[in-house]
Amino acid sequence: MATRTVPLVPLEDELGEGDRAVDAALQRPWRKAGALSRGPELAERFLESASFDRAPWLTVAFACGIAAWFVLPNPITWILWLGGWLMAAIGAIAIWRGDEGRSYLLRAAVAVSLLAAFGTALIWTRSEVVGAVPLDRPQVVWIEGRVLAREDRPAENRVRLTLAYRDADAGMARKVRVNVDPARLGPGTDESALVRLRARLMPPGSPMVPGAYDFARTAWFAGLSATGSVIGDVETLESARQGGTIARAQRSLSAHVHARLDGAPGAIASAFASGDRGGISSADEEAMRDSGLTHLLSISGVHVSAVIAAAYLLATRLLALWPWLVLRVRLPLVGAAVAAATGVGYTLLTGAEVPTVRSCIGSLLVLIALALGREPLSMRMVATAAFAVLLVWPEAVVGPSFQMSFAAVTAIVALYEAGPVRTFLAPREESWLARLGRRGAMLLLTGIVIELALMPIVLFHFHRAGFYGALANVVAIPLVTFVSMPLIALALFLDLAGAGAPAWWLAGQSLELLLGIAHFTADQPGAVKLMPQMGWGTFALFVAGGAWLALWHGKMRLLGFAPAVVAAGLLLTTPTPDVLVSGDGRHVGIVGEGPRLLVLREGRSEFARDNLLELAGLEGDPVSLERWPGAECSKDFCSLVVERGGHPWTLLLARSRSRIEERALAAACERSDVVIADRFLPRSCRPRWLKADRSYLQESGGLALDLSKQRVNAVADTQGAHPWWTGRGR
């Protein structure tokens, strides 16, 4: 049978004009959908090419959700924030449901949205659960309560007691913290003891001026209703219960170290061994801070890593001498278990502060990775440790300890994950001198990167930064890690046989060298730079730029410099306030009348003086207005004229609460632009621009005045409706 060949004709050639029109109409929506899908597809390709790891960004989203609760002003905005992220998660599921090609972006969008919402809900819940209502006013009360914690501070000649007692007048239990002279303490006044004492209590203080330390917020999450000092003796009604506690073990270890090594080295050694920093003098503490070495006093990565690494190496080397065990058990697993137990014990013994817990969690993750044969140091490890800390203490996200700790570790991991650094550190045939030079250069670069990462945080919280910390750390970190801490551990071990004296002497010499480095660095010209208040927006730009630089890979990470450069420009152009006013109106600082700060009162309060100097960005002792030739002072008021923005400003500042004839006061106010008083002023007092009397300051808190721009920045502007502000006494 003959076979007939039929030519293939394209379908569109057999369709009529009408059929082609119908087909085009049917295909048009799908073509549009394909065009719309190119965006997510391109995004996924971009993320894949950039080796994007979403795990650290999930922790960032969680932290941003927590931080948003502190920044947003009131419950309405908190609810809107929560609802917005939940709607974003629902919208992502609705848009991308059933499209397997976009499952990566779907999971990322949903996870980020839910974690941002969860962070806000978590910190809000914790605030409601642990927050303590502060006292409504200063009081002198009798307290009969239990000792919850005792902290010895011999450098300040005081003991700090945290007490729990029943406030019969308020009908609630309270937790307070008081300072007491050690000579006033009875025997057995330790944790769980029942004591009776008379104390002068104050509500936890809000920031003295805008940008200053917010102790009220810290006290809220610590459950403290008040702080104060003891009047008279402390009567012990019931001694502390027998039995060992971690706090007593810490004090016993600290006392043992002080007995074996006295002076400043003994105080530093006690901090390394037990976490007790109470014996460190203010001069040594300030030198360590200004030299960039204060992180060595807080038990964190250097100390925990050294202890765990030493325990791991000792365990594996000693157990390797037992052939029977070597043939039956994997020594890395046993060594990791011993090191983990040692690290947890050291963390508990030294107080389990946030840096210590972070370092312990990170070290445990490293041990797990080593035991499993995985890469021990990675950004995922840092992110996991941060997530774990925030899950337990979400309020830590706004504290300098958490921020500095994780910023330093993140900077180190990001640096060593960078391609050029890996190439520079790759093994090669070279002399030991060249290898030592490369390691030394890398250590210096690491110090510089850490200093750059920490500088915005230090400036934001403390308004001062050291510029030679990288050089000091090049010597100090190896000294502490490989000399001081091993010698202290060896001395404690030899003390079991009464033979630790030589090791203690060597440890003391190494710590004298550490203090010498700190004081020498801090005393250099330009070692410390003071800066005025950094705004939340500027700080957020620094954080965003740093996170992008650390978490991205390849050339795309360089985009992180853009927000950092913008933030640096904003910081450099931030104006220094012309007048600083404390929340009670008693302390006033005037900037710009020479190189030193003018103050209304020369009180004995170092806290007030230091706050005014830091926020003014000035050094040196302040000058009292009554000794300033440009001011006119009586026993009740000081008046002076300052020129700002080409305009003379007359300031009238109250010095006393004595009764003033109203007509004379009204006339003085009428001639003034700004009147500041720590008492109520009558309505007849009407200055030309601002009257900051007691009624005004009770609502606003401390003030920072920019006269040339006629701008008033108040503490209340950053507090919103957060409970530690709204619950304070009026």
pLDDT digits (tens, 9 = 90+) for 56-105: 889 999 999 999 999 999 999 999 999 999 999 888 777 766 555 556 67
> What count of Cα atoms within 13 Å lies in the side-chain half-sphere of residue 590?
27
Return the higher-pLDDT residue of 447 and 578.
578
Cα–Cα distance, 40 to 50 (Å, whole number):
15
Q: Is the pLDDT of residue 511 over 90?
A: yes
Sign of the C-alpha dihedral computed for residues 280, 281, 285 and 288 taken in this order:
negative
Helix, strand, or coil (residue 49): helix
Mean pLDDT of 169-177: 88
More confident residue, 459 or 555: 459
Which residues, listed in sequence order, are joined to residue 162 by a DSSP beta bridge?
149, 177
Measured between alpha carbons, how far is residue 104 from residues 44, 88, 101, 284 in Å? 8, 16, 8, 53
Is 235 buried (19+), middle (13-18) or exposed (0-12) by CB count in 10 A?
middle
Check residues 525 and 162 and name the one with the higher pLDDT.
162
Q: Which residue has the higher pLDDT, 547 or 364?
A: 547
Listed in sequence order, the residues at least 6 apart from 326 whose beta carbon sits closer than 8 Å to its beta carbon are 319, 320
Between residues 53 and 224, the one the model is more confident about: 224
Q: Which pair of tokens denotes residue 140?
A: 């002198």
User: Which DSSP helix (H) or strand (E) runs through 598?
Assistant: strand 598-599
* pLDDT digits 0-9 by tens, 199-238: 999 999 899 999 888 999 999 999 999 999 999 999 988 8
Task: Check residue 26 and give its pLDDT.
Answer: 42
Q: How confident is the model at residue 13 (pLDDT cuts 50, 70, 90)?
A: very low
Burial grade of 495 (CB within 10 A; 0-12, 13-18, 19 or more): middle
pLDDT digits (tens, 9 = 90+) for 661-709: 889 999 999 999 999 999 899 999 999 999 999 999 999 999 999 998 8
Q: DSSP labels for 379-399? A: HHHHHHHHHHHHHH-GGGGGS
**579 sits in which H/E element:** strand 579-581
CA 254 from centre of chain: 26
The torsion region of residue 469 among left (phi > 0), alpha (psi -120 to 50) and beta comes to alpha
State the DSSP H helix or E strand holding residue 648, giving kind and residue range, or none if neither.
Answer: strand 647-654
Distances 514 to 284, 289, 304, 475, 729 between C-alpha atoms, Å: 11, 13, 19, 9, 45
* CA dihedral sign, ordered 610, 614, 620, 626: negative
Mean pLDDT in residue range 508-526: 90
CB atoms within 10 A of CB 243: 7
pLDDT in tens, 442-456: 878 887 888 888 888
What whole-number distance in Å separates Cα of residue 241 and Cα of residue 625? 55
Whether 165 shows a pLDDT value over 70: the answer reads yes
Q: What confidence score (pLDDT) does residue 54 get?
A: 76
The backbone torsions φ and ψ at residue 581, rounded to the nearest 5 degrees and listed phi first, read: -130, 125
pLDDT at 676: 94
Distance, C-alpha 590 to centroid of its chain: 29
State how beta strands 598-599 and 528-530 pair. Answer: unpaired
Separation CA 230–CA 114 (nearest Å): 48
For 600-624, b/e burial (b = at least 16 CB within 10 A) is bbeeeeeebbebbbbbbbbeeebbe
Residue 169 and residue 215 in contact, taking contact as beta carbons nearer than 8 Å:
no
**Closest alpha carbon to 698 in 667, 721, 668, 677:** 677
pLDDT of residue 605: 67
Q: What is the pLDDT of residue 191?
A: 84
CA dihedral 143, 144, 145, 150 (to 10 degrees): 70
CA 390 to CA 392: how far, in whole Å? Answer: 5
Average pLDDT, the chain: 83
Length of the chain: 730
Quick one: fold of 139-243?
OB fold (Dihydrolipoamide Acetyltransferase, E2P) (2.40.50)
